Structure 1
């Protein structure tokens, strides 16, 4: 196995280990005598009689567990806590005042609807002595869902979500549509809890830095998108994918209404803070690559670009840097866009990006090693987080009887990487800070590996 391939894999693995959600959350909240301090904001515990915690998303469990650990330090606080946890993984310990809903992703199911209805029910009962804390992370959109139109079934909702994932829309664009479709998104949970003494939202972000209200489709934040935005996006979506008739009727009917904005009274006593994002992901990877002796640059210009354009841009950048530095590492965070056509095999946007890079590297005869993977440990419909490739990938696949080009054309990239041993298998990480791409070039290795 090539030295750079081993190194690039270890940098990804160690980066995930450095991103500790529990530590970040623990630093964001603490009880200090008669005060609750959240991200520097102080709340008088003598005026708060009840706490409601709603944690949803792929990172919900470690966020929830860290908050619970802090609140349990004050028994008089903990005895008045009610928590709803909607997550792929159960909490560390079962507690009588915590209700757990196994989160569904990437499409909602009956539990998603049950979780949404239960959350709305709890929030409808809050009063002026209740403190509401939302803990939000990516993936919450599908885990917490109830359509505005009660006649739309959960199977039709799941079909709508599946069409969005395959559409090639960016995560921000998909979530504009989800916000206007749902009873619990686009600030509507904040409205449900508007009688509370205070609301706060802590966010582990899987979206661009300017789009915090898009994390989990922003259930507790004022929505920056509009009904007209959703209408325009839906018109374009209809040209790309098949959609349930009930969903088409909704977006063309009277039930499609505006989402709550910043001026809504529900946000008068609320605040939100992004406590962890892809910035920290890139910083951790940068430290590790520098420690290995590489010149490192971070360039996320191609965030939410079409895959083929991102491939060309990042390979061009890496080649340019390699002409200056003997050992170079380019790091990029964010997502590339892949529109799936027809029936597809197993894979995801990260593996599709990596296999596309492999094809381009073979044509360029360029000695670059590429990794792309999801920080959540999940890439598309495959069991992998992502993959690694270089200029030898297509030839090594051919020698094993695998047509890599055919796999690329049919969105079946996992087959290639599984057989080559270049798939990255982490399992769900309990984190979700977007995707990371790492491209490395080492002149010392070029002289050794020239057989392909």
Structure 2
């Protein structure tokens, strides 16, 4: 396989490790007592699945326990088309709303599910399946805030380059369901359990999906980025790569990240072995101009520009991708670049630096087949960045 084949395979293995099916399987093995609780049929089981991984989490959970009723609220394009078309069946209601900025559906469906949840009582058991993206998908605003107000606020926050923790802290101020407020809306006799896939650095429950059901006693984190990075290290070692893991809590800017990758690239060249450098987290990416892209595509373009300066006789590849399969407001998970990327861009009459200054990475990477296209993955555990450097030729 080529270096590009290897890097796409390894990214895929990172996503696979965060699949809800595997996460629940491991969780129930480690928590047999809790599994027994859910096998108790004395209470009706209602499942509210919320976030980009909502559908796959709901289906995985229902493989283990009989769900009486459920509500799935996820991002546009993340439901199977037949489910979206039917909108509901005997058990589930299927709904989609907007991400990363909310829309009217976020509020309408937020109010719809809240009304249902308020009707649950002591004879019911509520399971909340939470994943990244929930903050914009599920909203019931406080009095005095209309949709246009919230859209304007969120757009400014996302363009500011603030961290997701800072953004979600602001979101809580105008919400009646974020920051544990959802629990306060429910019957105090209702038994509530939360199972979470973390897309937040440090797995802070206050920040994951803006914490609608935290703090609470029955709150469990199923999976996170560390698990995905570990699986990539395992698979890369099997492929013969010497591995180096820098961090799985990376929060620097795309510019600073690209400079780090350049340094790691030069260090890797000092050894003849084939090598992998791994980084995970959620980069900061202020938006300039009116271009189209995302933080993973931008850092890929930045790395391509920096590494192209070093004309080396060794094959290399760099990939940065969102494990949810989407990067910013695009249909790409991220970007994958290599030795020929800048030459290919110039052959297509693109000026990479000019496009970078306009935050316009998507169309130019697309033009040279340098986008990572996975489609919705059914999970969401931050971003994975991979640098591969092939062995030196004899």
Higher mean alpha-carbon deviation, 283-292 vs 366-375, is at 366-375
Native 8 Å contact 1:384 1:425 kept in 2: yes
CA distances 1:271-308 after superposition (whole Å, capped 9, x unpaired): 21111111121122112211111011221266111121
Q: Map residues 32-47 of structure 1 onto 2, 5 A cutoff.
A: 37-38=33-34, 42=37, 45=40
Deviation of residue 43 (structure 1)? 6.0
Contact kept? 1:322, 1:328, Cα under 8 Å:
no
Residue of structure 2 equivalent to 1:199: 192
Correspondence 1:303-342 to 2 at 5 A = 303-324=250-271, 326-341=273-288
Q: Which runs of 5+ in 1 are unaligned?
A: 73-77, 223-266, 448-452
Question: Helix, strand or coil: the match of 2:283?
Answer: coil
- TM-score, normalization: structure 1? 0.78
Shift in Å, 1:41: 7.4
**Shift in Å at residue 153 of structure 1?**
1.8
Question: 2:207, 2:36 → 1: CA distance?
Answer: 24
**Counterpart in the other structure of 1:23:** 22
**Aligned-partner SS, 1:12:** helix
Structure 1 partner of 2:8? 9
Which of 145, 154, 162 aligns to 2:147? It is 154
Matched-pair contact (CA < 8 Å) for 1:286–1:296: yes
Residue 326 (structure 1) shift: 1.5
Partner of 1:110: 104
**Conservation of the 8 A alpha-carbon contact between 2:19 and 2:378:** no
Please report how far the alpha carbon of residue 376 of structure 1 lies from its aligned counterpart in structure 2 after TM superposition: 1.0
Note the 1:118-133 alignment, pairs <5 A: 118-133=112-127
Deviation at 1:15, TM superposition (A): 3.4
Where does structure 2 lack aligned partners over 5 or more consecutive residues? Answer: none
Q: Give matches, 1:341-356, under 5 Å.
A: 341=288, 343-356=289-302
1:292 aligns with 2:239: yes
Contact 2:274–2:389 (Cα < 8 Å) also in 1: yes
1:358 aligns with 2:304: yes
CA 1:177–1:41: 2 relative to 1, 3 Å: farther
TM-score (norm 2): 0.89
- Please give the alpha-carbon distance, in whole angstroms, between the structure 2 residues aligned to 1:26 and 1:188: 30
Q: Deviations over 1:383-424 (max 9, x none)?
A: 211111234422321122111111111111112211111111
Determine if contact 2:104/2:147 at 8 Å carries over to the other structure: yes
Q: Is the CA contact 1:26–1:67 (under 8 Å) kept in the aligned structure 2?
A: no
For residues 131 and 404 of structure 1, the distance between their equivalents in structure 2, rounded to whole angstroms, comes to: 54
- Which residue is equivalent to 1:234? none
> What does residue 231 of structure 1 align with?
none
- State which of 82, 85, 93 in structure 1 corresponds to 2:69: 82
Instruction: Check conservation: 1:318, 1:329, Cα contact below 8 A.
Output: no
SS in 1 for 2:220: strand
Q: Deviations over 1:147-171 (max 9, x none)?
A: 113x322233222222222110111
* RMSD between superposed Cα atoms in Å: 2.5
Contact 1:359–1:394 (8 Å) recurs in 2: yes
Matching residue of 1:67:
61
Shift of 1:56: 0.3
Give the stretch that moved more between structures: 158-167 or 407-416.
158-167
SS in 1 for 2:141: coil
Secondary structure of the equivalent of 2:171?
Answer: helix
Structure 1 match to 2:324: 376
- Higher relative CO (CA 8 A, sep ≥ 6), structure 1 or 2? 2
Contact map agreement 2:17 2:227 (CA 8 A) in 1: no
The CA deviation at 1:180 is 2.1
SS in 1 for 2:206: helix
The separation in 1 between residues aligned to 2:22 and 2:89, in whole angstroms, is 22
Tell me if the contact between 2:201 and 2:282 (Cα under 8 Å) persists in the aligned partners.
Answer: no
Q: Distance in 1 between matches of 2:203 and 2:92?
A: 32
Look up the SS of the partner of 2:119 in the other structure: coil
CA distance, structure 2, for counterparts of residue 51 and residue 138 of structure 1: 23
- The number of aligned residues is 384
Distance in 2 between residues matched to 1:171 and 1:9, nearest whole Å? 26
In the alignment, what sits opposite 1:413?
361
Q: Report which of the two structures shows the higher radius of gyration computed on alpha carbons.
A: 1
d(CA) in 2 for partners of 1:333, 1:7: 18
Residues 112-170 of structure 1: CA distance to partner in whole angstroms, max 9, x if unpaired? 11222123222322323321111000011111012113x32223322222222211011
1:191-231 Cα shifts (integer Å, max 9, x gaps): 22351342211001111124132111111012xxxxxxxxx
Q: What's 1:441 paired with?
A: 389
